[in-house]
Chains A and B, each alone.
Chain A
Amino acid sequence: MSFLIGDNMTGGYGAADILHDCTIAVELGEVVVIVGPNGAGKSTAMKAIFGMLDLRGGAVRLDGDDITKLSPQERVRRGMGFVPQTQNIFTSMTVRENLEMGAYLRTDDYSDTMAQVFELFPILKEKSRQIAGELSGGQRQQVAVARALMMEPRVLMLDEPTAGVSPIVMDELFDRILEVRDSGVAVLMVEQNASQALAIADRGYVLVTGENRFSDSGQALLDDAEVRRSFLGG
């Protein structure tokens, strides 16, 4: 029984389904990556798991509870954090205010969490008074991840966290994500940079036209000749 599982999910935005019996599962302390060609339904699968899409079939379970009918806000309360691919920060607010908004639902004292997040992303501490919209692309992604961490989620979901950042920044971001995993968080992410993402992933799913095609450990997928040929560019 996985900690978070989107079980046999079927659904889409309109009449046509994008996902077909798609199953994605992630355990605590594990990084799971969803890869696949464009239009494979990777982001849709993430949205479905987070409740931003109505499912026609299948279920989403968190720690054994069926959460299929819960709103995204409810899922945040239950310990799920989501970092959207775009527009994932409050550009007119300072870095610190972004983090405060991340902790908006918390009524306890979250200064410890803020300190931990600043420890994980030291550059953000330095720039905590700066307007987030003025930061570089990589720093903005860090703000986005940090904002989601402020709820101390048990599951962190990232939709293409490295989109549009340089390879160096990407490596650093992956390092941070591994640190988050090592603290016992379940990390689920969609990645365009498939081979780099699979290299750090504990497990990976290859989606094609909304269906599971392959699922294995990250390294096994990287070594699989067919996966390499079809999706990783040789």
Chain B
Amino acid sequence: MTDFLDAVVLLTNFVLVPGVTYGSQLALGALGVTLIYGILRFANFAHGDMMAFGAMVVIFMTWWLQSLGVSIAPLPVALVALPVGIVAAIAMSLATDRLVYRFYRRSKAPSVIYILTSIGVMFVMNGIVRFIIGPDDQRFTDGARFIITARGFKEATGLHEGLAIKLTQALTVLITLIVVVALFRFLQKSRTGKAMRAYSDNEDLALLSGVSPERVVFFAWLIAAALATIAGSLYGLDKSFKPFTYFQLLLPIFASAIVGGIGQPLGAVVGGFIIAFSEVTITYAYKKFLRYLLPDSWAPESLVQFLSTDYKFAISFVILVVVLLVRPTGIYGGRSS
């Protein structure tokens, strides 16, 4: 019996907890991408670097607060800094829209022009972030590290396997939950939220109904920038902040949005968890897990790992390709173009 429990704890510790955390981060990122796609109708390649930009501002603010001796232990100070980062990212997004995208919107450019433009914005944003904070790893986590430690768990339960839950993981899931619920309530209930859904659904009819496109676009950037900063900061808190990783995150984030059905907020959340769990379950080595469950003579010699973690991005890529081939509109029937 304890072998079985050990196996469950092992899987929870190395698959479930990291999967839920990573899934939350992807879901927040994918929501921003899907929202911009729904309203402005292009895949925003600059979203990953917007996450990095927002997180960077949060880091500077955190360092400044830390230097003043501010502490909200056991919670990380970054939570206090988060609103500042959100405001900065919103300002950056709106400025980009004003300086770059609005020109193409007025000239009714095809969406491929927007995509290429967003790649340009991505490089600029990427450059800005590296220029200011540098390309290296930055740590800004403080406060308590764990809410459940492996040792504490072992002592409390008497099992061989420990379960560790980091405070940042718990915070990631909690904040994601709050943000997603708030966002869905906004989209479902509020007048502006309904106008955004209407505009995303049928632009011409929304215009005939009196929806102002500039207002809808404004709110789309506002929400996307806030989501990007929250996602970027949570990812940075949980792992570490390195500008390049946010560029790499773009692939799983796009895969999440597309798997769920691009333009569909619920799809982005579901897609985020699908991608996260695919990555974690496929790159996990099941050797120890099987040892607990199988008789000794059957115990595997190899690691029983389907793919090395070095290839984790290939998983998003394969899922993305398969979805685009088999069901291009994704689970919740988003747009296919």
Which residues of A are in contact with B by a Cβ distance under 8 Å?
72-73, 76-77, 82, 84, 87-93, 97, 100-102, 104-105, 147
* Known contacts A90-B202, A91-B201; A101/B207 CB under 8 A: no
Q: How far is the CA of A147 from the CA of B200 in the complex (A)?
A: 17
Q: Would you call A105 and B207 a contact (CB within 8 A)?
A: no
Q: Which one, B6-14, B68-76, B208-216, is touching chain A?
A: B208-216
| B185 smallest CB distance to A (angstroms) | 15
Neighbour of A104 across the interface among B201, B204, B210, CB < 8 A: B210
* Beta-carbon nearest neighbor of A72 in chain B: B208
Q: Would you call A76 and B208 a contact (CB within 8 A)?
A: yes
Across the interface, which residues of A come within 8 angstroms of B210, CB to CB? Answer: 73, 76-77, 104-105
Q: How far is the CA of A90 from the CA of B197 in the complex (A)?
A: 9
Across the interface, which residues of B come within 8 angstroms of A72, CB to CB? Answer: 207-208
Q: How far is the CA of A84 from the CA of B201 in the complex (A)?
A: 15
Q: Would you call B204 and A84 a contact (CB within 8 A)?
A: yes
* Known contacts A90-B202, A91-B202; A104/B195 CB under 8 A: yes
| A9 smallest CB distance to B (angstroms) | 20
Neighbour of B201 across the interface among A76, A92, A100, CB < 8 A: A92
Q: Would you call B209 and A102 a contact (CB within 8 A)?
A: yes
Across the interface, which residues of A come within 8 angstroms of B205, CB to CB? Answer: 84, 87-90, 101
| A204 smallest CB distance to B (angstroms) | 26
Q: A-B pairs with CB below 8 Å: how many?
A: 55
Q: How far is the CA of A93 from the CA of B197 in the complex (A)?
A: 8
Which 7 A-B residue pairs are closest in the complex by CB-CB distance? A105-B210, A90-B201, A104-B209, A92-B201, A101-B198, A101-B209, A104-B210
| Apart from A90-B198, A90-B202, A101-B195: 7 A-B pairs, beta carbons within 8 A | A73-B208, A82-B208, A87-B202, A91-B201, A92-B200, A97-B198, A101-B209
Q: How far is the CA of A147 from the CA of B207 in the complex (A)?
A: 13
| B253 smallest CB distance to A (angstroms) | 23
* Beta-carbon nearest neighbor of B212 in chain A: A73
- 20 A-B contact pairs sorted by A residue (CB < 8 Å): A73-B207, A73-B210, A76-B208, A84-B205, A87-B202, A87-B205, A89-B205, A90-B197, A90-B201, A91-B201, A93-B198, A97-B197, A100-B194, A101-B194, A102-B209, A104-B198, A104-B209, A104-B210, A105-B209, A147-B209
**Binary CB contact string for chain B from 173 to 207 against chain A (1 if under 8 A, 0 otherwise):** 00000000000000000010011011011101111
Q: How far is the CA of A93 from the CA of B196 in the complex (A)?
A: 11
Across the interface, which residues of B come within 8 angstroms of A102, CB to CB? Answer: 209
Across the interface, which residues of A come within 8 angstroms of B202, CB to CB? Answer: 87, 89-91
Across the interface, which residues of A come within 8 angstroms of B194, CB to CB? Answer: 93, 97, 100-101
Which of B194, B200, B201, B209 has the most chain A CB atoms closer than 10 A to its own CB?
Answer: B209
Across the interface, which residues of B come within 8 angstroms of A76, CB to CB? Answer: 208-210
Q: Would you call B207 and A93 a contact (CB within 8 A)?
A: no
Q: How far is the CA of A37 from the CA of B162 in the complex (A)?
A: 79
